[in-house]
Structure 1
Amino acid sequence: MIDAHFHCWQLARNDYGWLTPDLAPIYRDVSVAEWQHQAQPWGVRAGLLVQAAPTSEETEFLLRQAQDNPAVLGVVGWIDMLAPDAVQQVARCAQQPLLKGLRPMLQDLSDPDWILQPAIEPVLSAMARAGLVFDALITPVHLPRILALAQAHPDLKVVVDHGAKPVMAAAAMADWVQAMTPLAQQTHPDQVVCKWSGLWTEAAPGQPVEVVRPWCEALLAIWGPQRLLWGSDWPVLEMAGTYGAWRKFSLDVLSTLSKPEQNAVLGENARRIYRL
């Protein structure tokens, strides 16, 4: 059982521009040990630690956490993809056994075409050669761009974070499905996959977890159990509810699948894609 997406941070590092006192439930230091306390009662013994700040110092910080905690099987870090030495940075990242992927924070950039600019092409090619996964932190507007990226770099593994953070409104669901479906249908199953994570925090504050069931069922229909990776997005999850509530709900939705299919979503897919 693998949690394919969780975070830890130390506020004193002061590079989490988005993490402000307004986010009171999660505006605190968060450790790997605290994540383990939440995850272990649900049989989740290992996880993938994902960056939360767009700095190289963040990547180094997370790698130290992974080196100190055997339950962390890998790290998704960050580099400046427009730096003059970005290709060399990718090569250095690939020398770190625990560094499994890189994640530009595309959702925070004003230009949805940012990732498609020619200057980044060599960096994506270098990632593919190095076996590093591209984590796509995106919103629905980016989905056609990620399809173009995947088709231009067929050897680059791509993971769509949080179901592309859909707008949790019935009126918006059809457009999200229409944008997501080509990404699944027009790419190879071993190249592009999607994380079943982060959905509850996209719902209106105070909503019960059951409100996201239609989106979870849609992800299953679009991607199938061999292309979904379960993650908690903890502690961001606490803006909506508890680790246990999200896990229990997820297991209930997945209960209609066979045991091998459940195991794929709950761990084996993450192990395969990130080479854990």
Structure 2
Amino acid sequence: MKTVLFDIGIMPVGKYCNLSCRGCFQKTRKKTEFLTVDARIADHLQSMGITRCFIGGGEPLLHNDLEPVLHKISKSFSIRYLLTHGNDLSSHHYVKNYVETIVISIDPMHERATRQEYGKISYPDNIFAFIKESGVDKKVRINSVAGSLNELPFFLKLKERITGTGNVKGWYVYANTNSSISKNDYTELIDRINKSGRSGLNVEYKLPSEDFIQILILPDLSLESYSFNVFHGIKKVHVKNILSFNKLADLLKHIGKLHGKSSDVFSQMGSGRIK
């Protein structure tokens, strides 16, 4: 018997996410119908004993219409972090007043998804300005995905921009298991990034793990009840019909059976074990 870590995320974004990133659960480009989290879902998650989660996307900051939803979630749960692609961070009221830890996704995949020029950091300067200005009262982490050793120029430029802000607390580069990158190429990529430029900010390895599952609660009832995939080296579970589970332990037992891990002990990141 071994311990399997899990993390729970609420995804308040539906039809307004227009990034259409490869590997996203919206990869068919079918736009979902619901924008907000049903009040019953938030209340039910609390009744199940869920007290902490992260806010994911899509892009939860893409439209101001989402702000009331984000407020409701933050009042109901302990928010571990907000995951964003960095849209309009500096002027977003919610970020300024409610979010302490921000995880920003910056990688070649999203550059290509938004039809930006491959191999260059063309994200708006205000993202890096926000990181530089907010480092005192915000915890900022960068998440990236590596799909090829050929992406090294992108990551070297990104390191230059990140270290220039001086306020990034961590940088994780995941091995994209949906690409052809080998373990040797991935290791070489990370080593070359860490040896380049100024010291003080080293990339942390993120290889695929059998001992971590990400559980994503979807607000859209039109999606499949459960879908499982491995993306960026992370096992993900998309859960629609959360109302059919009365306790967190029941949900974990169901997920464990589907993953062949029914005899393992589940432990939420930052909390105790749950059998």
Shorter-normalised TM range: 0.5 to 0.7
Matches for 1:93-108 after TM superposition, within 5 Å: 95-101=96-102, 103=104, 106=107, 107-108=109-110
- Partner residue of 1:232 out of 191, 206, 214: 214
Give me the TM-score of the superposition, normalised by structure 2.
Answer: 0.53
Q: Does 1:179 align with 2:189?
A: yes
Cα contact 1:74–1:99 (8 A) shared by 2:
yes
Give the letter aligned to residue 169 of structure 2: K
Structure 1 segments unaligned to the other structure (5+ residues): 197-213, 221-229, 256-261, 269-276
Cα contact 1:3–1:46 (8 A) shared by 2:
no
Matches for 1:1-276 after TM superposition, within 5 Å: 4=7, 6-9=9-12, 11=14, 14-17=15-18, 18=20, 20=26, 22=28, 29=34, 31=37, 45-53=51-59, 55-57=62-64, 60=67, 63-77=70-84, 79-80=86-87, 87=90, 89=91, 92=93, 95-101=96-102, 103=104, 106=107, 107-109=109-111, 110-111=116-117, 112-114=119-121, 120-140=127-147, 141=151, 142-160=154-172, 163-169=174-180, 172-182=182-192, 215-216=208-209, 232=214, 234=216, 238-240=227-229, 242=237, 244-245=255-256, 266-267=269-270
Helix, strand or coil for the counterpart of 2:227?
helix
The CA distance in 1 between the partners of 2:260 and 2:192, in whole Å, is 30
Structure 2 segments unaligned to the other structure (5+ residues): 219-225, 230-235, 239-254
Higher helix residue share: 1
> Match of 2:233?
none
Change (3 A) 1:168 1:78: closer
Cα contact 2:51–2:77 (8 A) shared by 1:
no
Change (3 A) 1:173 1:73: closer
Change (3 A) 1:67 1:47: closer
Change (3 A) 1:135 1:7: farther
Give me the TM-score of the superposition, normalised by structure 1.
Answer: 0.53
Cα contact 1:133–1:156 (8 A) shared by 2:
yes
The CA distance in 1 between the partners of 2:43 and 2:53, in whole Å, is 9
The CA distance in 1 between the partners of 2:52 and 2:58, in whole Å, is 19
Helix, strand or coil for the counterpart of 2:55?
strand
How many residues of Structure 1 are paired with residues of Structure 2 in the alignment?
217
- Write the deviation string for residues 201-243 of structure 1: whole angstroms up to 9, x where unpaired: xxxxxxxxxxxxx7338xx9xxxxxxxxx56162598242747
Identity of aligned residues (%): 6
Cα contact 2:86–2:127 (8 A) shared by 1:
no
Change (3 A) 1:137 1:215: closer
Report the Cα offset of residue 15 of structure 1: 1.0
Report the Cα offset of residue 138 of structure 1: 3.6
The CA distance in 1 between the partners of 2:135 and 2:145, in whole Å, is 20
Report the Cα offset of residue 55 of structure 1: 0.8
Give the letter aligned to residue 46 of structure 1: R
Higher strand residue share: 2
The CA distance in 2 between the partners of 1:102 and 1:63, in whole Å, is 16
